[in-house]
Structure 1
Amino acid sequence: MLVSIIMPAHNAEAHIRTAIDSVLAQSFGNFELLIMDDCSTDSTVDIVRSYTDPRLKLHVLGSNLGAAGTRNYGIRQATGRYLAFLDSDDCWKPEKLAMQLAFMQANQAALSYTAYDVMSPDGTQVTGRVDVPESVTYRYLLRNTIIGCLTVMIDTAQTGLVQMPAFRGAEDTATWLTILKKGYVARGLTESLAVYRKGNVSLSSNKIQMAKLIWQVYRKNQQMSILTAMTHFPFYLWNGFRKHLRTGGSMKLVK
């Protein structure tokens, strides 16, 4: 089974080698790594072009599409049955694809995710870990955005074409919600198989921005009434606060 890995990149020269190398080091080798350069002005494209592995496919976009648009472009180019996502400053552990694909097939999962570690912005130390439940329903995800984009794998034979809505910074959560709303249950592999690079944005400012984004997802993307949204929102705030305390405070927002 071919896995298509979607990697958006924008001025990613500082860390993209680490991300690419973690994919090329996978014990499972039947993948294509689709890197979409979103109008970088640094050496990102040159770094990607320095690789000769034919599984790596670079697309240089003619206009800036943002995170959701860039991922959607990549998804439309993908030829694999399974989709996986990795940002250009995060990385995977070597057994990630092999273990997760076997897990999905054993559980006939449409969407799966894993636990992941959190590292400092410079990558020198692990500062926390995000543990995950064995399953996540639509209702659960409304109240606890526990699924990390860098850990997700989707079986498009079950879900059909996946496209991320334009909710800058929360497009991934909106996507998982849309899939689960159809009745699917996401399955979690509780072993940590990925490493998320923590950003430098402060906890307080970042949490306010993320809260606003999640509220927009409730109201505009999931088309909830104000009353229904208000029944879920306090749980989201509490679970988000607990998660960021466990992982050392701040996180990045994808631009």
Structure 2
Amino acid sequence: MNTFGNVDHKVSVIMNCFNAGPFLKESIESVINQTYTNWELIFWDNQSSDNSARIVKAFVDPRIKYFYAYKHTKLYEARNLAIQESKGKYIAFLDTDDLWHKEKLEKQVKILMKGEYPFVFSNYNLIDKNSNFLKKAIRFGKKSGMITRELIRGYYIGILTVVFDRSLLDKVGEKFNLNFNHVGDLDFFLRLSEGNAFYYSTETLAQYRVHGNNLSTLKSLELLKELKVLARQMSDRPFYKNHIDYLNDFVLYRKYLLLKKGLERGKKFSIIYLAISMKSRIDFFLKLLILRLIKHKNIFRS
């Protein structure tokens, strides 16, 4: 048991729920089993019609605070509403099918208390519906510090690993953007990163459950449209007016995703076109080249 002896260091754990019965009990238990005990669980029930409410209410723990939404909302609005009910100095997120390692909060709060980093996150594992290990989410080392450009060049924050100081919310104003359905996490954490140091731990501190329901083609196209909107919004922010190269990186990343989606749908881009399009990102070019080989068999056909 560890609280670091100070109620001011409470962690508000945001858990949004909509018909999450199958894995909910295990997810809540992974919060209860934390070695760091100074937390509150803000459980936001987005008008579930299954047994989710009964599952959470079976836990007799004053730190678990149940809220039933007055109306069903999209995820990002539900997250904002849950944050409004939170009281902790720090904010964390855990979805109803994911899991935390028992020392997650203890290790991360220790870093936050040092004062150098107001935002911490870590590596995590991917697991299947039976909790079997699939792979590590992040295979290569990532740096800590001012990492806005690194996130733009290849976003790698898992929201289930995040803990940040509440004071950051005062700096960004708006929390999750309600106009987004797919890129809200990316937008929110990019805004928090602009001018703030982030700490990344290579240690695996959480488990993300993969259900095998990859984005449909329609949702993938919606995501690409939202990235275009986000790029326009970023271009209007003072931070990117001073870092135009960051914005160019973001536009290139979206173009990479467009080409990737095109190849997946059977389009036959020439190698020369792919090389010119990705000339400043050899890693993107190689990924597209491999995908072209898989889809069209002959990589040397122009």
Counterpart CA distance in 1 for 2:227 and 2:190 is 11
TM-score (normalised: structure 2): 0.71
Q: In the TM superposition, what is the alpha-carbon distance from 1:67 to its structure 2 partner?
A: 1.1
Q: In the TM superposition, what is the alpha-carbon distance from 1:13 to its structure 2 partner?
A: 0.6
2:250 is equivalent to residue 232 of structure 1? yes
Query: What is the aligned-residue identity percentage?
Result: 27
Contact 1:5 1:34 in 2 (8 A): yes
Contact 1:83 1:156 in 2 (8 A): yes
Q: In the TM superposition, what is the alpha-carbon distance from 1:159 to its structure 2 partner?
A: 4.3
2:71 is equivalent to residue 63 of structure 1? yes
Match of 2:152, SS? helix
Q: In the TM superposition, what is the alpha-carbon distance from 1:40 to its structure 2 partner?
A: 0.8
Q: In the TM superposition, what is the alpha-carbon distance from 1:139 to its structure 2 partner?
A: 1.8
2:99 is equivalent to residue 91 of structure 1? yes
- 1:163 corresponding residue in structure 2: 175
Match of 1:194, SS? strand
Question: C-alpha root-mean-square deviation of aligned residues, in Å?
Answer: 2.5
The one-letter amino acid of 1:116's match is Y
Match of 2:65, SS? strand
2:136 is equivalent to residue 129 of structure 1? yes
Q: In the TM superposition, what is the alpha-carbon distance from 1:107 to its structure 2 partner?
A: 5.2
Counterpart CA distance in 1 for 2:149 and 2:100 is 28
Q: Structure 1 residues 204 and 158 mapped into 2: Cα distance closer, same or farther (>3 Å)?
A: closer
Q: What whole-Å deviation, never above 9, does each CA across 1:5-58 have from its counterpart, x for those lacking one?
A: 000000101111111010001000000000000011111111111111111011
- The aligned length equals 238
Query: Higher RCO, 1 or 2 (CA under 8 Å, sep at least 6)?
Result: 1
Counterpart CA distance in 1 for 2:187 and 2:52 is 28
Larger radius of gyration: 2
Counterpart CA distance in 2 for 1:115 and 1:200 is 20
The one-letter amino acid of 2:29's match is D
Q: Structure 1 residues 202 and 79 mapped into 2: Cα distance closer, same or farther (>3 Å)?
A: closer
More strand by share: 1
Counterpart CA distance in 2 for 1:68 and 1:42 is 21
Counterpart CA distance in 2 for 1:31 and 1:179 is 22
Q: What whole-Å deviation, never above 9, does each CA across 1:148-201 have from its counterpart, x for those lacking one?
A: 1101111013543662112112211111111122x1121101100000011322
Counterpart CA distance in 1 for 2:236 and 2:20 is 35
2:56 is equivalent to residue 38 of structure 1? no
